[in-house]
């Protein structure tokens, strides 16, 4: 990347593409995690759903195969970071890229850290 704005815009484009594809594939941009056995605080099984649509995790549960679940903390995190958050984050990255000269260096550094994590690059 040649400058911070380019890094931010590249990350926004990548994130927007990934979030849109995930929302389209799942049937909804909002995801939720349903904890199995919610009355048991240490229950480890969570199913992931696209809100109002189909399960995000398919397969499993057949003969000799484990069910298609994730642990509760992982499921909660995935649901919290679904496509809706990805699209909002992409919009934020584009906004920061458009105003790189008017933001504090600390704020820009934080935005670049997010962009670099998405872009898979080091500072």
Q: Which domain holds residue 79?
A: 4-119
Gyration radius from the chain CA atoms: 18
Decide: 21 and 50 in contact? Cβ < 8 Å: no
| Model pTM score | 0.80
The DSSP code for 16 is H
Query: What CA–CA distance (Å, rounded) separates 1 from 32?
Result: 35
Query: What CA–CA distance (Å, rounded) separates 88 from 91?
Result: 5
> What's the domain count of the chain?
1
Give the pLDDT confidence of 52-110 residue by residue, as tens digits.
Answer: 777 777 655 556 655 567 777 888 888 899 999 999 999 999 999 998 777 788 889 99
Weakest mean pLDDT among 7-11, 15-19, 51-55: 51-55
């Amino acid at each position: 990347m040649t400058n911070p704005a380019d890094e931010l815009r590249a990350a926004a484009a990548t994130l927007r593409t990934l979030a849109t594809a995930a929302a389209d594939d799942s049937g909804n941009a909002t995801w939720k995690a349903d904890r199995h056995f919610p009355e048991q605080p240490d229950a480890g099984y969570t199913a992931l759903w696209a809100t109002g649509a189909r399960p995000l995790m398919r397969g499993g549960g057949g003969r000799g195969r484990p069910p298609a679940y994730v642990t509760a903390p992982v499921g909660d995190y995935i649901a919290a970071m679904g496509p809706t958050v990805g699209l909002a984050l992409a919009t934020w990255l584009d906004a920061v890229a458009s105003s790189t000269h008017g933001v504090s260096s600390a704020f820009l550094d934080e935005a670049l850290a997010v962009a670099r994590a998405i872009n898979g690059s080091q500072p």
